Structure 1
């Protein structure tokens, strides 16, 4: 009798998961574009009143750059990940945030000390995988693409058939060197398409970067964040330290950057007198004069993706980020 009861209980849990139990996003295996797309469709069905999505652009190889909104507020923030192909663990992190916040909102839970009711006033827009083609190449290699394209990819990869170190999009452009801020004067960049560091022939040449810029103009977020890996570091500000916006910048520094550092335990890399530029957050700060920062997750490693074993520690440090920034964004908006 007990065995029958246990079997029935297992069947019930399988078909009718317990409320409050988030179980869609699997962070224990390589997180692919296909997994992200499947998870997005499932989550949007599970939380139709909270999660909506749209396509920012579709790559020539048929992959969508998804933008996912969590919340129904007019005030917005924007968080993106995986500009660089080998940094796909940021995509898993952002999708886990989406699932966790939606689950907490629907079931009246808090995420530690933060209540998801803020999502009634602030919408969090996520672009979890800016570079889906590059991610797919890095994870699966040449077989994901037409054979006629292989010689070009191998050439950009310096003759190697191992794409574990790949950062660029599929046309060899480093997407986080594609934004207009100081683009003409970037240093340390490649002069031709490559697995990393090629800035292109002009800003926003890459469809992925241009689509993200157009979308940013559309939603006008109060705060923007780019997740990268690795180094356990926060890069804050761009050409602002000591300039005419000192009072405003200092306020944002202590109200947001310093608090994010306390939240994540990541140190802040303070702006230098000269900064490289070319990145999404550099452009956002320059264009909108609003707070933006880059978060480098995970222990510093070179030329490869972070190991999956690091995810739990990364999640513990970052899981409140979206809700915290939503609260700060609403405060900033109200202060205006």
Structure 2
């Protein structure tokens, strides 16, 4: 967050006082080129760690240079807005909290949903390896969004605390890997499942009709127009179009009239093209399986990576499934690079929030291995 500089201080000295690498401070202030923060200017600083914020001597020295009253001490809670559900409003609130408290996390709006809600990418790191993660392609799999957000909070906390995972230092991973996360690909669908639509208006009637005139949307996977976003990609899309039972908009499985008709699918495809990722991991529910192959077009390293994911999570690696037109399928088909679909948890969708801690803990290693593998 922005803080007022009340005495000239070098960037290096301020980083030292905050007990963080200079690069994190530079990344909080994108485009920083000066060596000195001048008195009377503002600088974006990360939240102080709980331990540092309790250090009276540190605060006294910092207060000579900056006003401290508006620098928050972050808490080690993984998700601030974790309640009974995790709607787009909850996700956006956590995204804002994350980007305000840790300005080295870059926030970009990469597109809009059918209803005009922002689809947000969070990115951080300086490394040459580019890894992308996403959640909530499917509406009733919304728990994937709060799980991925919890891992992000854990990672930024580890960066400030200079901690590690299984011997891999978070700050080293920051220099090795540039991480991209789209926590909620399908915000309209998530909100439909969790909150329903206002009963007034033509959209409600259209969506209700797609749902067989039922007002229970808990089994809805598609976007708000009844198109399954994970059946929208040009990787043998024609096969899925012919064999899918729904031939018109439906709560699930309808691939659309042609590939990439939906704005949510379009912006994710464009993100891949713009960022040139080396790997993608899409989080879905449920089954505790990891799908990692596509028609033999995956590279040899894909098996080594999935074996590490499996060892850390206990999930079952599955190389080949009879499915096409998914985001991961398309990425492997186009790029010949590793792509994974991870089915989090066990049970029936939508998985209850009561499983959040168990899911996040059991599959945490997949997140960290995505940074160091």
1:297 to 344, 347, 350: 344
User: Shift in Å at residue 87 of structure 1?
Assistant: 0.3
Tell me the equivalent position of 1:198. Answer: 254
Matched, 1:266 2:315: yes
Tell me the equivalent position of 2:174. Answer: 119
1:283 to 317, 330, 352: 330
Tell me the equivalent position of 1:326. Answer: 371
Tell me the equivalent position of 1:230. Answer: 286
CA contact (8 A) 2:114 2:188 kept: no
Give CA-to-partner distance per residue, 1:118-154, whole Å, 9 cap, x none: 11221110011110000000100122x7522111111
Tell me the equivalent position of 1:157. Answer: 211
Separation (CA, whole Å) in 2 of partners of 1:181 and 1:44? 35
User: Shift in Å at residue 320 of structure 1?
Assistant: 3.0
Question: Which secondary structure state, in structure 2, belongs to the residue aligned with residue 124 of structure 1?
Answer: strand
TM-score with structure 1 length normalisation? Answer: 0.85
Question: Which secondary structure state, in structure 2, belongs to the residue aligned with residue 68 of structure 1?
Answer: strand
**Equivalent residues in 2 for 1:116-155 (5 A)?**
116-117=170-171, 118-143=173-198, 147-155=201-209
Whichever of the two has the greater Rg, that structure is 2
1:211 to 238, 261, 267: 267
User: Shift in Å at residue 48 of structure 1?
Assistant: 0.8
Separation (CA, whole Å) in 2 of partners of 1:293 and 1:146? 40
Separation (CA, whole Å) in 2 of partners of 1:18 and 1:113? 26
CA contact (8 A) 1:114 1:324 kept: no
Question: Which secondary structure state, in structure 2, belongs to the residue aligned with residue 126 of structure 1?
Answer: strand
Question: Which secondary structure state, in structure 2, belongs to the residue aligned with residue 259 of structure 1?
Answer: helix
Per the alignment, do residues 280 and 220 of structure 1 end up closer, same or farther by CA in structure 2, a change over 3 Å counting?
same
Question: Which secondary structure state, in structure 1, belongs to the residue aligned with residue 168 of structure 2?
Answer: coil
User: Shift in Å at residue 20 of structure 1?
Assistant: 6.2
Give CA-to-partner distance per residue, 1:29-51, whole Å, 9 cap, x none: 311111111111111111112x0
Separation (CA, whole Å) in 2 of partners of 1:299 and 1:318? 12
2:353 to 287, 308, 311: 308
Give CA-to-partner distance per residue, 1:174-207, whole Å, 9 cap, x none: 0000011110011234100011111100000111
Give CA-to-partner distance per residue, 1:289-317, whole Å, 9 cap, x none: 0001100011131xx31011111111112
Which stretch of the first structure deviates more once superposed, 115-124 or 317-326? 317-326
Question: Which secondary structure state, in structure 2, belongs to the residue aligned with residue 142 of structure 1?
Answer: coil
CA contact (8 A) 1:189 1:199 kept: no
Which stretch of the first structure deviates more once superposed, 24-33 or 197-206? 24-33
CA contact (8 A) 2:139 2:221 kept: yes
TM-score with structure 2 length normalisation? Answer: 0.77
Question: Which secondary structure state, in structure 2, belongs to the residue aligned with residue 159 of structure 1?
Answer: coil
Question: Which secondary structure state, in structure 2, belongs to the residue aligned with residue 97 of structure 1?
Answer: helix
1:73 to 124, 127, 146: 127
Separation (CA, whole Å) in 2 of partners of 1:37 and 1:225? 21
Let me know the Cα RMSD of the aligned residues: 2.0
Gaps of 5+ in 1: 1-8, 10-14, 329-336
1:252 to 281, 292, 302: 302
- Structure number with greater CO (CA < 8 Å, separation at least 6) is 1
Matched, 1:103 2:157: yes
Question: Which secondary structure state, in structure 1, belongs to the residue aligned with residue 164 of structure 2?
Answer: coil
CA contact (8 A) 2:88 2:190 kept: yes
Aligned length: 302
Give CA-to-partner distance per residue, 1:264-293, whole Å, 9 cap, x none: 101112315xx3211000000000000011
CA contact (8 A) 2:79 2:149 kept: no
Separation (CA, whole Å) in 2 of partners of 1:232 and 1:146? 39
